[in-house]
Structure 1
Amino acid sequence: MKKKLLIISIGKHREFGVKTILNRNDIIPILIESYNNRGLSPFFEKTIFVRDIKNDNEVFEQIISYLDKDEIIGVITYVEHLVPVVARIAEKFRLPTLGYANAINARNKWFMRQRIRNERLNFVNQPRFKYLSGPTDPQLKNIDIFPSVIKPLDMAASIGVKKISSKTELFFVINNTPNYNNKGYLFEEYIVGEEYSAEGYVQKEQINLLCLTKKKVDKTNSNFIEVGHELPVEFNSEIDTYIYSCVCEVISALQLNNCVFHLEFKLTEDSKFYFIEIGARPAGGFICDLIYHSLNYNLYDILIDISIGKTVNIPSKVQKIRFSGVRFFLDEIPKLNWISNNNILNLNASISKNTKIINSNIDRTGYVQVSANTIEEVRRILWEKEK
């Protein structure tokens, strides 16, 4: 008899993740969602609605009021801020999990930074950083590290993240950026370098790095808006080994296990690795889609396998199929007639003009995903202007 997989919210732009769940023959998917569920209920065997989906006690009580605990085989989410909730629920049902305490370390940027610092790692560098409780924090007057970055501790998708260049600007930003859930802010040194992410999974304390992704950020403003990704990134063997060592150090220091991960880092001009942050969930920004098209790894399937206690079985070495990339639009959608039908993977260009100020990744106006035989061709398709 098939057992039930609980999905505690889907999040946006996770169509491939939803398809992966629905294509599994070994589980019955049950959606746990708030009342604002964007019409996903018909695709699932059952939907259990929870008024406050961030409250793990309320989620747990609703689950046990509808389901027998012996029916449940695993719990997952694709949503950053719900990773601790999923860990808590999995603990209560004694299912595979990274653990609530470790989920918090992978969610709270301040805890994350402290843990990495206290472990005194061999390879990993971090920006200098401080915790700020808010605009009245007495530490504000002593800060003299610029340029720098300020981040609300309890948000994602670059919401509230700002680059600042002076103390005057720091005071303005912290007075005008919401203190989400009263968790405070992380202030840190701005590191000059190219931005990347590492995608993979951990099961039974074995760390598996599957792909490196390069991030393209809009440099015309201070909000760190992601405008594109490309993968797989290819370095020489020495850099690859160094990055893998750094990734392993971070994951071991945070004691992450039984999860997939999206680890963001920078490489400076002299190839030093600087840890930025990590998410213990599948990467957003269609990175999982691109990995599947390029390397045939499905991180959503891997997450499900881990959550139900099934050993992940992937080829130790996969033959590269294609290079892939995504471009996000911030204003008017450019004409796309220079893209061949053979290159298009997915697109959304329904909004012809943006009337909002772009403050975070959620304000982008559309996207196009493409694949090609070379990374140079991916870049040409996505970024060269129409002739």
Structure 2
Amino acid sequence: MMKRLFLMLLLCCAMLPAQAHKPSDSYLSLDVQQQRVSGQWDIALRDLDYAIGLDQNGDGQLTWDEIRTRHAAIAAYALERLHIAAEGSACRITPGEQLIDHHTDGAYNVLRFEAMCAAPVSTLVVSYHLFADLDPQHKGLLRLTHQGKTSTAIFDPAHAEQHLSLTAPDRLQQFTAYVKDGVWHIWIGYDHILFLLSLLLPAVLLAAPADNLRGAFIDVLKVVTAFTLAHSLTLTLASLSLVSLPSRLVESAIAASVVLAAVNNLYPLFRGRRPWAAFGFGLIHGFGFASVLIDLGLPQGALLASLFGFNLGVEIGQLCIVAAFLPLAYWLRHTWLYHRLLTAGSALIALIAVVWFVERAFDVQAQWIGL
């Protein structure tokens, strides 16, 4: 039974998608003044192209002219999936101008709009269904401002409608939402998971003494702690805009870190310095984690709580992976299967990460040009 579980793990690695980029998000900003709601909605062009088709000549490249001719279709598609209500009545939404902006993961269409409500707003009811039928992992990140105060919310299929009080925002609910998003971010971040597994695979074999689960746990604790400290540091610095690195450099370096961590299991590169390697590469992974909060553009007051909640969620998700992996690995550490997994699995992880590195470093699948 346990051997089957490990074979399934190896198969899952082989079935990972070639690309492991930031999950699909959109960024919705609402500013409420009396009964008027001014909105801006940033939606990834790659997602819109998949949903309604923007590349009219089919050459795999998007130009401003192609996007401009689809402005009406973009507005209709998006606003049909966004409903705003206040004081028991729907607010009438009118589309405005559309622009192009660049986020950390590519080009976005910027849709501006106005919503007029029947009475001054005290509680805003927002229903969000963008890409609900196409991508169950898509999330909408909301920034709501009113009289200089900012609150946040995260929309997903399980939380498609939310009631947002302007007078007494639910800070605990906002914090919890970012904790959950941090957990989910690490669980679907294939590159982060493979990096972590590459570092964990030899832990039960290198522990001293080798037959001591406590020794294996201490080895894992050193690696995970070093990784946590490092990515927490750069996540904070990047989210507060104190340090900034180009997205392509960060994503390429993350892929390279997975390659090196996996190759280390085949040919020792770090030689007893895995915690230091985890710390060094964790600094790069932190910049990758920060992309969600950077793109949301929160003011510092709202950012600090979101930052702490998101980072806590990342740690919880990470610890869940460790808790599931370590006992199983320790149990099978002396079996032929585990040693084969260490070698063949590490080689497969390295191969997948090399594909990611080539894609990211050389932009071999770039489609969004001319913008």
Measured against the shorter chain, the TM-score band is under 0.3
Structure having the higher helix fraction is 2
Which structure is larger by alpha-carbon Rg, 1 or 2?
2
Structure having the higher strand fraction is 1
TM-score by length of 1: 0.25
Higher relative contact order (CA 8 A, sep 6+): 2
